[in-house]
Chains A and B, each alone.
Chain A
Amino acid sequence: MNGLFSLIPLIVFIPFIGVLINLFFGRRLMPARDSIAPGVIASIMSGGAFVIAVLMWIGLLVNPKGADVPFLTWMNIPVGNLTFAIPWTFKVDTLSSVMMLVVTGVGTLIHIYAIGYMKGDVEEQATKRGFSDQEATDFMRRRFPRFFTYLNLFLGSMLILVTGNNYLMLFVGWELVGLCSYLLIGFWFDDPVVGISNSSAGRKAFVVNRVGDFGMVVALALTFWTFGSLQFNEVFARAECMKTKSQAECLTVGGDQAPTEVTPAEGGAAVSYNTPVSFGGFSAPLSAVVTAITMLMLLGATGKSAQIPLFVWLPDAMAGPTPVSALIHAATMVTAGIYMITRSNVLFSMAPASGNLVAIVGALTAFVAATIAVAQFDIKKVLAYSTISQLGFMVSAVGVGGYAAGIFHLATHAFFKALLFLAAGSVIHGMEHGHHAVSHHGHDEHAEEHAFDPQDMRNMGGLKDRMPITTWVYIIGALALAGIVPLAGFWSKDEILLDASRENFLVYILLTLAAFMTAFYMGRQVFMVFFGSPRTEPAAHAAESPSVMTTPLIVLAVLAVIGGAMNLPFGSLNFLTVWLHNSVANIRIPAPGKDFSIVVALISTVLALAAIGASYLLYGQKPLSEGQPDPLAATGPLFTFLNHKWYWDEFYAAVIVGPYKAISAFLANVVDWQFWHNYVHETLITQGLYIGISGILSQPIDKGLIDGTFDGIGKLVRSSSGELRRTQTGYVRNYALAVALGVVLILASVMVFLFRAR
């Protein structure tokens, strides 16, 4: 089936062709203001990538070992006695195929949704800026294709990330998706009201991710110097070899000897590998080095996958258009960290300390983010913190070694979180539509001028009658997220909880509490938004979204319902675990009967139902009316603390950003401007040296010496001529005397000459 696998480069190039088409021909493809051609083309390209992903899946069904499809050699640099060889080779195996299918499948649905959504969003922006018809058409023809250029660019970059066969290609994709995230978050950088905060949010995402990327780069460097290569197969083969043999022997082990099945150490005790790894000047034991590498990779993952302490960018990233939030910050980009950890499972299994740290970080993040989500009022912020919390679930799953559970949750989370975000976008659109209807036809002509936040849940209410489709898909998504059987979220979350309960009890407790709060805040959100009666005029006039937006919602809702069938924990129904076992060495097929615990499942279901019941009591039974404060606000300072997101941003501002800005102001104003520019340049060099030396050169030397010399010559000529002129007396007798004297001299010399000759 190698022929089929060789199509894999297309999965990256088809989206990039879409980028080029929309980049260069986007405007020409939109003859009219309401043309949607660029969006259709982008969706077709995304769909093409999905087709390739499906073909790869079919190929892997026949040949589960997959293949490495070489494409080109990027670098081949000899370094000491190692070689820095980075080929761009596509790795088709079961893990990357799961990622490819999720990314391209959910991505294509979001592309289709974005056609309708961005049409409305660009029109909204044109209205906000008061454009005339001609200006608005121009604006639409420029911005609409740009969005789809960025979306396709993101898709291609994410696919580079998941199909790379070495850490550097993964890192290239890593950085590119960070760039696309920046571009898309700050898409409305010139919005007249929030333009600056949009671009600040984009910058915050980029900068915070950079901190994580620093960890990644150092981890990559350490990996290369320890194992002599960055290709996954080779690194893992050499790591396995170095458990028993010395480093020098293992540096030439080829990638074909990568471990395919890792048996857990006997007795479960942590084994410490003491093979010395030399770094030129010093050496360290293998365990320590691998622990360092994996902890630095964790730092990278906390940046990209929004874990503590680098999660602060994701809520701000909600400033981007909703399809961006759905695609990048829910389903795909943020999962890159989990993919990377799963890919590096061999290294993590050699460093149990890192695994514990990963699990704790994930669990803490899940807990903290869930508490914050309980107290948010913006519909997208709730979902953002929910995403951070669910990513915490995934991260702690891979931390305790439940790689299959983590990837399973990654996939199901992509379905229902994308669904929730897109449905939230639909809700926001409906609210804006209602706002326009009220201000144009309603009794409040000045409604447009009042600040109206269409995303604030306190302005919503009773939308289930106005937007039925959105309501029902949202409820399905919320139930899936809360983990209600038999929706997809239940199976994946339950598997994570089971793995955690067996490996790390603290993690299990934190995750269970987070699951309880998850169900609670989703119930809160559903009751506040869709039930009760409308709290504001725009909510009363909201309208359902067009079918180009609701159709992808329905598809995602179906996936959220049946997605659990991927990996049911009963007997041989655990398709995904078996599938992933082919690529992830540390996934073990559980023995029959040990893959499901009724106790854990019961606890989580009871807690979820209790949480939904509690949210009903607080928000559903007596629906909030306009202006009524949130019942939870009765807890006073606790609610404020959660609402202000544990003051995390304020903490960073005081501890990191403040001193950084102070240092940079000092360096810029004092060191650079006052010292370097004013003192060194202006005073020393310009005034002192330059003007001084040129003063010396110009006055005494040029004027005095050189001018003096040449003037002196002239004066000399004049004076000597003045003297010599005195021989020209005009008196004949003087001339006659001169003649006579001359004759005498000549005669005398001739006579002397004659007499001397004698």
Chain B
Amino acid sequence: MDETLFLAPTSFYVVLSAILFSLGVAGVLMRRNAILIFMSVELMLNSANLAFVAFARSFQDVGGQVFVFFVMTVAAAEVAVGLALIVAIFRTKKSIDIDELHNLEG
């Protein structure tokens, strides 16, 4: 291959990752539905993955890509547990609106 192939600069990926992350944060903070919060959390995680992969390509280090595997695994486990919790909550309160979950208040 010759160097005339256009590679997107790493900064593009990082900016995209930042935007995705911010969207994820906004989603966590503004959504009332628990499942949607989880989706936002997944978005944040994936944005981190994107940043990892981008830097792995730019530094020619495979370690970044390996770390993505870890993150995905953890994300999956976390979703499993989280969704189980939400099912349990729904069984009790017949709703998954997080604004109704404030029993542990001072």
A-side residues, CB < 8 A to B, are 725-733, 736-737, 740
Given the interface pairs A736-B29, A740-B25, the reply to whether A729 lies near B99 with Cβ below 8 Å is: no
Within 8 Å by CB of A729, from B28, B29, B105, lies B105
Decide: A736 and B28 in contact? CB cutoff 8 A. Answer: yes
A738 to chain B minimum Cβ distance, whole angstroms, is 11
Whether, in the assembled complex, B98 has its beta carbon less than 8 Å from a beta carbon of chain A, the answer is: yes
Task: Name 8 interchain pairs, CB-CB below 8 A, sorted by A.
Answer: A725-B106, A726-B106, A728-B104, A728-B105, A730-B102, A731-B99, A732-B101, A736-B28
CA distance A727 to B106 in the complex (A): 8
Cβ 8 A contact of B106, one of A728, A732, A733, A736: A728
Residues of B within 8 A of A (CB): 25, 28-29, 98-99, 101-106
- Chain A: minimal CB distance from B29 (Å): 6
**Chain A residue at smallest Cβ distance from B32:** A733
The number of residue pairs between A and B whose CB atoms lie closer than 8 Å in the complex comes to 31
A724, chain B: closest CB distance, angstroms: 8
Give A284 to B17 CA distance when docked, in angstroms: 127
A730 touches B29 (CB 8 A): no
Whole-angstrom CA separation of A594 from B105 in the bound complex:
137
Contacts of A730 in B (CB 8 A): 101-106
Residue from the set A727, A733, A740 with the largest chain B CB neighbour count within 10 Å: A733
In contact, B29 and A733 (Cβ under 8 angstroms): yes
CB closest chain-A residue, reference B98: A732
Tell me the bound Cα distance from A110 to B106 in angstroms: 109
Taking CB atoms, residues of chain A closer than 8 Å to B104 are 728, 730
Q: Which residues of B contact A726 (CB under 8 A)?
A: 106
Closest CB of chain A to B96's CB: distance in Å? Answer: 12
Q: Which residues of B contact A737 (CB under 8 A)?
A: 29
Nearest Cβ distance between residue B38 and chain A, in whole angstroms?
12
Cα distance A728–B25 in the bound complex, in angstroms = 21
Measured between alpha carbons, how far is A564 from B8 in the docked complex, in Å? 165
B99:A733 contact, CB within 8 angstroms = yes
Q: How would you classify the secondary structure of chain B's contact residues: helix, strand, loop or mixed?
A: loop
Cα distance, A1 to B28, chains bound together (Å): 135
Cα separation A731 to B101 with both chains bound (whole Å): 7
Across the interface, name the chain A residue whose C-beta is closest to B34: A732
B residues within 8 A CB of A733?
Answer: 29, 98-99
With contact pairs A728-B106, A730-B104 given, residues A740 and B98 touching in the complex (Cβ less than 8 Å): no
B102 x A731 contact (CB < 8 A): yes
- Summarize A's interface: helix, strand, loop or mixed: helix
Chain B nearest CB, measured from A739 CB (Å): 9
B106 surroundings in chain A (CB, below 8 A): 725-730
Chain B residues closer than 8 Å to A728, beta-carbon distance:
104-106
4 residue pairs, one from A and one from B, having the closest CB atoms: A728-B106, A730-B102, A730-B105, A725-B106
A729 to B102 Cα, complex, angstroms:
7
Q: In the bound complex, how far is the Cα of B18 from the Cα of A629, in angstroms?
A: 149
Q: How far is the CA of A726 from the CA of B102 in the complex (A)?
A: 13
Closest to A732 in B: B98
Are B103 and A740 interface neighbours, CB within 8 A?
no
Q: How far is the CB of B88 from chain A (nearest CB, A)?
A: 16
A577 to chain B, nearest CB (A): 123
Chain B residue nearest in CB terms to A722? B106
Residue of B nearest to A737 (CB): B29
Determine the residue in chain B with the shortest Cβ distance to A725. Answer: B106
Among A727, A729, A732: residue with most chain B CB under 10 A: A732
Which residue on B lies nearest to A726, using beta carbons? B106
Q: Which residue in chain B gives the minimum CB-CB distance to A721?
A: B106
Q: A731-B99, A733-B98, A733-B99 are in contact. Are A740 and B105 (CB under 8 A)?
A: no
B98 proximity list for chain A (CB < 8 A): 731-733
Complex: A726 Cα to B106 Cα, angstroms: 6
Of listed A725, A726, A727, A731, residue having the most chain B CB within 10 A: A731
Q: Cα distance A729–B98 when bound, in Å? A: 12
CB-CB < 8 A to A729: which residues of B? 102, 105-106
Specify the chain A residue showing the minimal Cβ separation from B103. Answer: A730
Cα A736 to Cα B26 with chains together (Å): 11
**C-alpha spacing A152/B8, complex, angstroms:** 140
Give Cα A730–Cα B101 distance, bound, in whole angstroms.
7
Question: Hey, which chain A residues are within 8 Å of B99, CB to CB?
Answer: 731, 733
Rounded to whole Å, the gap between the CB of A734 and the closest CB of chain B is 9
**Chain A residue at minimum C-beta to C-beta distance from B31:** A733
A725-B106, A726-B106, A727-B106 are known contacts. Are A740 and B101 too (CB-CB below 8 A)? no
Residues of chain B lying within 8 A (CB to CB) of residue A736: 28-29
Point out the residues of chain B lying under 8 angstroms from A731, CB to CB: 98-99, 101-102, 105
Q: List the A side residues contacting B28 at CB < 8 Å.
A: 736, 740
CA distance A730 to B103 in the complex (A): 6
Distance in angstroms between the alpha carbons of A728 and B105 in the assembled complex: 5
How many Å from the CB of B102 to the closest CB on chain A? Answer: 3
**B29 to A740, Cβ gap below 8 A?**
yes
Least Cβ–Cβ distance between A288 and chain B, in angstroms? 105
A727 to B102 CA separation, bound complex (whole angstroms): 12
Which B-chain residue is minimally distant from A724 (CB atoms)? B106
Residue of A nearest to B104 (CB): A730
A732 neighbours in B (Cβ, 8 Å): 98, 101
Determine the residue in chain B with the shortest Cβ distance to A727: B106
Tell me the complex Cα distance, A105–B99, Å. 128
Cα separation A5 to B36 with both chains bound (whole Å): 135
For the complex, give the distance between the alpha carbons of A731 and B30 in Å: 12
Tell me the complex Cα distance, A730–B98, Å.
10
Given contacts A731-B98, A731-B105, 11 further A-B contacts (CB under 8 A): A725-B106, A726-B106, A728-B104, A728-B105, A728-B106, A730-B102, A731-B102, A737-B29, A740-B25, A740-B28, A740-B29
Most chain-A Cβ atoms within 10 A of its Cβ — which of B29, B103, B104, B106? B106
Assembled-state Cα–Cα distance A749/B28 (Å): 24
Residue of A nearest to B106 (CB): A728
**Distance to closest chain B CB from A731 (angstroms):** 5
Q: How far does the alpha carbon of A614 sit from the alpha carbon of B103 in the complex, in Å? A: 136
Minimum C-beta distance from A722 to chain B (A): 10
Q: Determine how close the nearest CB of chain B comes to the CB of A743; give it in whole angstroms.
A: 9
Q: Give the complex CA separation of A727 and B104 in angstroms.
A: 12
List B contacts of A725 (CB < 8 A). 106
Closest beta carbon of chain A to B18's beta carbon, Å = 12
How distant is B79 from chain A, measured CB to nearest CB, in Å? 17
In whole angstroms, what is the CA distance A731 to B105 when docked?
A: 8
* Complex interface: chain A residues within 8 A of B103 (CB): 730
Residues of B contacting A727 with CB < 8 Å?
106
Residues of A within 8 A of B25 (CB): 740
Tell me how far the C-beta of B83 lies from the nearest C-beta in chain A, rounded to whole angstroms. Answer: 16
Closest B residue to A744 using CB positions: B25
For residue A728, which residue of chain B has the nearest CB? B106
Report the bound CA distance from A736 to B29 in whole Å: 7
Q: How far is the CA of A728 from the CA of B102 in the complex (A)?
A: 9
> A501 CA to B104 CA in the complex, in Å?
132
Task: For the complex, give the distance between the alpha carbons of A740 and B101 in Å.
Answer: 20
A736–B25 Cα distance when bound, in Å, is: 9
A747 to chain B, nearest CB (A): 12
In the complex, residue of chain A having the shortest beta-carbon distance to the beta carbon of B26:
A740
* Nearest CB of A to B28, in Å: 6
A725 to B106, CA, bound (A): 5
| CA distance in complex: A737, B29 (Å) | 6
